[in-house]
Chain A
Amino acid sequence: MSARDAERALRTALSRGGDFAELFWERHETLQLVLDDGRIEDAITGVDQGAGIRVTNGERTTYANGNVTDVDDIMSLAGRAAGSVSDGGELHEAARLAPDELERTHPVAIDPRSVPVERKVALLKKANEVARAFDPRVIQATVSYAESCQDVLVSNSDGTHRTDLRVRVNFAVNVVAKRGEVLESGFEAVRGTRGFEMLGEDVIVEAATTAAHRAVQNVGAEPAPAGTYTVVLSSEAGGTLIHESVGHGLEADLNLKGLSVYSGRIGEKVASELITVVDDGRDPGQRGTAAMDDEGTPTQRTVLIEKGVLRTYLSDRRHSEKLGIKRSGNARRESFRYLPICRMTNTMIERGESDPDQILSSVKDGVFVKKMGGGQVDVVSGNFAFEITECFRIRDGKLAEPLRGATLVGQGPKLMSEIDMVGWDLGYSTGTCGKDGQGAPVADAQPTLRIPKVVVGGKLK
């Protein structure tokens, strides 16, 4: 799509009034291979191409979107968006587009589309073999490979005209183990905004081994006891905690509406001095990385909480203006079917100064979380919950028996103020974040942390 065509679409979009217009276009090519029950069961490929035209007029936004094959389709969307603008008021001219190139922190050495499918199939088979050979209690394995190549163009009436190509690869292993009547599953994934080079055989073997180990360990584990415990969250556990307990609460749209426990608190102490929280959309190769957000704003590293003090929110164009904060490049959308919303990219608690081993040995009786799964937060009350997929009892500063079926719940600002030890290590996890019905690829990271008292959900005998 040329800058001239984009200009034409933006002019049409503003032809009935409105103070800002934007064109978002994407072409998304995907391939998914699934090995299940010992055989390659699914091979799926597809192309999804579409566009959305947004017009804002005062407090009202109209958005027309759909699948498009050519420029005429885009012009018809622009006409449709303009048609929904009522009381347009003064007419605004779209600025001349000023195309520019953004620096990429997500280099792709090997475009996955150039790799023969046989090599991808071989990786799936290898992972399946490794997982099944791990232990006789392993009864089932599902291994999947997915590649996603999303070409994006954003043009707007302020003159922005930028493109981005996000190449993402996702390799996941899910293993089921059985002991008597008890079934448990174990999961591990390798995901990033990178090319095929990230899937070396060693990486695949490790993922399959980890998933199998988790399933087998959980199937032999005791149910976690419900109650309040001292918890050590290993850096290996990933960053679901920061994502749920703090991250969502710092999204600018929720703060403008006064919906977050962090609303109106910039400059205030909202966490322990040991806590610094950063969102970095440029973290090389990570799952939430891109050159620009879905409004064409370059991504960046944003310090959200600095030594316990709230500094800013995760923002898009509109909310950064309304809140008078710097635009942070956090406007993201699942596809052209949606308006962008404020959300995280790669979010982390920065490294601290404690020795991770000493954090563990400091706890006489508690719970050690080795891997976290998904989570959810109610941003209004700050109450959050996340799944624990691998954990152990701590007795006398050492790891004791494994536990299964646990959840950790707490309230964001309270928990962040109580963390009293932060390790010098750092571990990542990846996932797909859901907000307002849209999914977005993200990564989270944290060092090893100690929480003096927190509710661990489990069963009572």
Chain B
Amino acid sequence: MTQRLSNDEVIDRALSALRSAGARTAEVFLREAQSGTVETKDGEIEVVIARGERGLGVRVLDGERMGFAHSSDLAAAGIEACVEQSRRMSRITEPDADLRIASRALDVADLAIYHAGLERRALADRGAIALAVEKAARGADPRITHFRKTSYLDAEVTTIIATTTGVRASYRETTCGAMTSPVATSNGERQIGYHGEGARRLEDLDPAAIGARAAKRATDKLGAKPFATQKLPVVLDPWMAQSLLGAIAPLFSADNVLKGRSLFANKVGSKVANERVTIVDDARRKGGLRSAPFDGEGTPTTTRTLVDKGVLRGYLTNMKTANKMSTSSSGNARRGSYASPSRIGPSNFYIQAGVDDPKTMVARLDRALAVTSLLNLHTIDPVSGEFSLGATGTFLEKGAPVHPVQGITIAGNLTDLLSSVVSVGTDLVFGPSGLGSPTLLISELSIGGT
């Protein structure tokens, strides 16, 4: 058997290969992950998956040109080949004077993102969580008849970054999550619901609440009717609001701003949202699902208010775009995997809690629509900001549900959406992808229907 190099040995070999090749500014990034998944069906464990992953990404900055290569072959020859490929790639790209490799030593803060022992749990313990979610969904309502899927997943991940210019740091993190998609049946009609949550430690995951919420998502849609084309006030619960907030995030990317692809270009200091809206990106949130001490290019992460009471305060940056804007990086070079170079993106990105009671904010409205699911979120074009989505919802009169609706669309522009937020709930909730929002009331959206 070939000798398996430790993570630190892999880093050392890569750095030394870079030095021997004469690469003076380069970065090595390693990620190792161990994860376990259990899926259940009708009270039994159906699928068990154990996954191991380890790989290396190497970025070489040759003068002003950046190359990138990755490899899962971490034997000595594989590491050397990866370094060589990265150097080759750097000769293909074109110069950009603002590119940098990190050179400031990192102080790794404890953000409560690692909790030992998660990964060593027995299969039966993992299965028990998924089974508890399924049971809670089934027990929540007699109309829950079957499931598309119920699963529990946990992972332990190690990230190491090192540069030829003196940076070397690492952190470990754990995540766990559970989700279910129950189906409700009534009078021949079937509707599916979905809910999933994530946490850094098991104690923060509530299987009963996940199951019950998913069941409610399904049963709330039963009895759905077509709906007339009209304009109405729209209520977004925290999870629906998170989905749309995720689509808004690219508008804050300095890369998009500099390249003319963001509606927020030249808007710093201007009003871009209703004064009730404050948007924060906080990579330092204790236990946050997107918290990390440093970003994908070795810059310390930060906490930033991007929209303060409706006014745009700044953008999400990495080293390159920060240089171009004569500022310092906000630490938002996010890296999905060792195999992808970093891209500017949010961390724990959320709308701050407001002052309105989520239950009573709609009571004063004669008619409104509460959105219960959205289809086609992935097709929103952040460049134009235009969105037109398939939806289901509940039609409300004076805040009371009248009947569910399906087969409708909701449409608007992301910038108008932010300006039209007229109530912000007190109930801020973070979702499994680090996005957070309270309940939002939108003054008016176009609804397409019959």
Contact = CB atoms under 8 A, between A and B. Distances in A.
Nearest to A34: B93
B125 to A, nearest CB: 14
A339 B411 contact: no
Contact of B384 (A46, A139, A405): A405
Contact of A457 (B49, B93, B409): B409
B449 interface: yes
A84 B375 contact: no
A110 B408 CA distance: 47
B378 A224 contact: no
B183 A373 contact: no
A226 B448 contact: yes
A33 B88 CA distance: 13
A376 to B, nearest CB: 4
B386 A407 contact: no
Nearest to B230: A460
Contacts of A139: 260
A67 B55 contact: yes
Give me the 5 closest cross-chain CB pairs, A-B, nearest first: A457-B409, A385-B390, A66-B52, A226-B448, A46-B70
A69 B2 contact: yes
**Chain B interface helix/strand/loop/mixed:** strand
B72 interface: yes
Given A375-B376, A380-B183, A385-B376, A407 B409 contact: yes
Interface of B: 1-2, 41, 44-55, 57, 67-75, 78, 82, 85, 88-90, 92-96, 123, 146-149, 183, 190-192, 221, 224, 229-231, 258-261, 263, 339-341, 373, 375-379, 381, 383-390, 392, 406-412, 446-450
A459 B384 CA distance: 14
A457 B388 contact: yes
A41 interface: yes
A188 B260 CA distance: 20
A227 B447 CA distance: 8
Interface in A337-377: 337, 339, 373-377
26 contacts: A42-B341, A43-B93, A44-B70, A48-B55, A48-B71, A59-B41, A60-B47, A64-B51, A65-B50, A66-B53, A67-B73, A223-B386, A226-B411, A226-B449, A227-B449, A258-B146, A259-B146, A259-B192, A337-B53, A339-B49, A387-B376, A404-B384, A434-B378, A436-B149, A457-B408, A458-B388
- Which one of A254, A373, A383, A434 has the greatest number of beta carbons of chain B within 10 Å? A383
Contacts of B95: 39
A410 B229 contact: no
Contacts of A43: 67-68, 89-90, 92-93
A436 B383 CA distance: 27
Contact of B407 (A45, A65, A218, A409): A409
A87 B92 CA distance: 56
A105 interface: no
B47 A61 contact: yes
Interface in A30-58: 33, 36-37, 39-50
Contacts of B392: 383
A411 B69 contact: no
Contacts of A5: none
Contacts of A49: 72-73
B386 A405 contact: yes
Most chain A CB within a 10 A radius of its CB, from B71, B72, B378: B72
Contact of A259 (B183, B377, B406, B409): B183
A184 interface: yes
Contacts of B191: 380-381
A45 B383 contact: no
B408 A455 contact: yes
A378 interface: yes
Nearest to A178: B260
B68 to A, nearest CB: 5
Given A39-B93, A227-B229, A459-B446, 14 more contacts: A42-B93, A43-B68, A44-B89, A44-B340, A62-B49, A63-B50, A66-B51, A86-B123, A228-B449, A228-B450, A257-B148, A259-B192, A409-B409, A436-B149
B50 A455 contact: no
Interface residues of A, number: 83
Contact of B446 (A81, A185, A226): A226
A176 interface: yes
B388 A224 contact: yes
Interface string A435-461: 010000000000000000001111110
A196 interface: no
A407 B390 contact: yes
Nearest to B124: A86
A458 B446 contact: yes
Contact of B68 (A44, A384, A457): A44
A50 B73 CA distance: 9
B389 to A, nearest CB: 6
Interface in A137-186: 139-140, 176, 178, 181-185
Interface of A: 33, 36-37, 39-50, 59-67, 69-70, 72, 80-81, 84, 86, 117, 121, 139-140, 176, 178, 181-185, 218, 223-224, 226-228, 254, 257-259, 337, 339, 373-381, 383-387, 404-407, 409-411, 434, 436, 455-460
Contacts of A183: 260-261, 263, 383-385
B78 A69 contact: yes
Given A43-B89, A375-B376, A185 B384 contact: yes
B409 A184 contact: no
Given A59-B46, A224-B388, A40 B260 contact: no
B409 A44 contact: no
Given A40-B94, A63-B50, A50 B388 contact: no
Contacts of B47: 60-63, 339
Nearest to B72: A67
A337 B339 CA distance: 14
Given A43-B90, A72-B2, A259-B183, A457 B389 contact: yes
B405 to A, nearest CB: 11
A374 B148 CA distance: 23
Contacts of B411: 226, 405, 407, 457-459
Contacts of B410: 457
A65 B52 contact: yes
B376 A383 contact: no
B375 A385 contact: yes
A379 B55 CA distance: 37
Contacts of A386: 376, 379
Contacts of B446: 226, 457-460
B260 A64 contact: no
A35 to B, nearest CB: 9
